[in-house]
Amino acid sequence: MVRVVRFHRHGGPEVLRIETVDVAPPARGEVQIRVKALGLNRAEALLRRGTYIEPATFPSGLGLEAAGLVEAVGEDVAGFAPGDAVSIVPPLSMVRWPAYAELATFPAQLVVTNPPGLSFETAAAMWMQYLTAYGALVDIAGLGRGDVVAITAASSSVGLAAVQIANRVGAVPVALTRTSTKRQALRDAGAAHVIASDEEDIGARLEDIAGPNGVRVVLDAVGGRAFEPLTAAMSPGGILIEYGGLSPEPTPFPLFNVLTKSLVLRGYLVHEITRDPARLARAKAFILDGLADGTLNPIIARTFPFEDIVAAHRFLESNTQFGKIVVTI
């Protein structure tokens, strides 16, 4: 019998419950881990509220990131043994493979041996943010030296990962945040420039920063009215990659900018990377190399104990965090 987090109806953080259940041993091709830390993601709040791309099946588990020790391995699994320190590449379905549990089971191909000296908290905080940012910026956009990249929701874990990855490849990261409250923290985290979108003219500031060459890449998690000034500041042939929809406002299609500049506006999910073995292998190598040389370093906003999972989700939805929220077991 182990403790798991489940919910029996959609709603706010208060619907989450810690329950004790029987857990089956790992099946063929699976690895079961004793979880030591969890990384929280906005997708989990969306599943809990009933607005995620995947429907919940009640009672539903949840969770996409975990780190811990191998407890058991299923048949036909090689390369892992009980006691190994590992972390999890986010699965395609958190309903099928939920991470919020003392014991959690995942497909072996999603289990990664942790580098020596990596804490469980850091290991649980890294895969979703770096895979998402790498897939968009490097794999799809081909971000490179000298490129100006505008990053919205920059104080989120993915936003901060994007800043670090941009610096690692020699690009110029421009962080967009709603107010100037987090300006210095974003500069300290590596942003070359910071724009407070509620206080400044986004288009004018981007034009000043990027100059005549314009912004080649935009990584956007927000949508809404900012599409117009963002695309107006982009370079001909530039690409805007949309991976979220935080704005409650309609998102206008910037027809004139798209036509006159031959822009690419592209939707993106991290599943594009995680379900493609070759692309995932390249992403993992990039991330592990970055962790080793120090150019990638997950920023943890706050850590909660497992018993405070409701409080952790309330903090997740407060939009006040700077970086990743981690839960320890």
For 32-50, what is each residue's pLDDT tens digit? 999 999 999 999 999 999 9
- What is the mean pLDDT of the segment spanning 130-142? 98
**Given pLDDT bands bounded at 50, 70 and 90, which one contains residue 240?**
very high
Instruction: Determine the pLDDT at residue 163.
Output: 98
Tell me which DSSP letter residue 114 carries: P
Instruction: Determine the pLDDT at residue 259.
Output: 95
Place of tokens 């970086």: 323
211 φ, ψ (degrees, to nearest 5):
70, -160
* Multiple choice CATH, 128-271, 3.30.230.10, 1.10.540.10, 3.40.50.970, 3.40.50.720: 3.40.50.720
247 φ, ψ (degrees, to nearest 5):
-70, 135
Asked if residue 215 lies in contact with residue 206, where contact means CB atoms within 8 angstroms, the answer is yes
Q: Which part of the chain has CATH 3.90.180.10? A: 2-114+299-328
Place of tokens 């599409």: 227
Instruction: Determine the pLDDT at residue 29.
Output: 97
Q: What is the pLDDT of residues 111-120, one digit of tens each?
A: 999 999 999 9
Nearest to 310 by CA among 299, 318, 321, 322: 318
Report d(CA 90, CA 54) in Å as an integer: 14
- What is the mean pLDDT of the segment spanning 58-80? 97
Q: Which part of the chain has CATH 3.40.50.720? A: 128-271
Tell me which DSSP letter residue 275 carries: T
Bridge-based pairing of strands 324-328 and 234-242 is unpaired
**Does the CA dihedral 17-311-34-44 come out positive or negative?**
positive
Is pLDDT above 90 for 122?
yes
Instruction: Determine the pLDDT at residue 257.
Output: 95
Instruction: Determine the pLDDT at residue 58.
Output: 96
Place of tokens 């490097």: 138
**Given pLDDT bands bounded at 50, 70 and 90, which one contains residue 329?**
very high
Judge: domain 2-114+299-328, CATH 3.90.180.10: yes
Is pLDDT above 90 for 286?
yes
Residues forming beta bridges with residue 31, ordered by sequence position: 73, 106
- What is the mean pLDDT of the segment spanning 261-286? 96
Instruction: Give the pair of three-digit tokens for residue 34.
Output: 């004793």
DSSP string, 142-155: ---TT-EEEESSTT
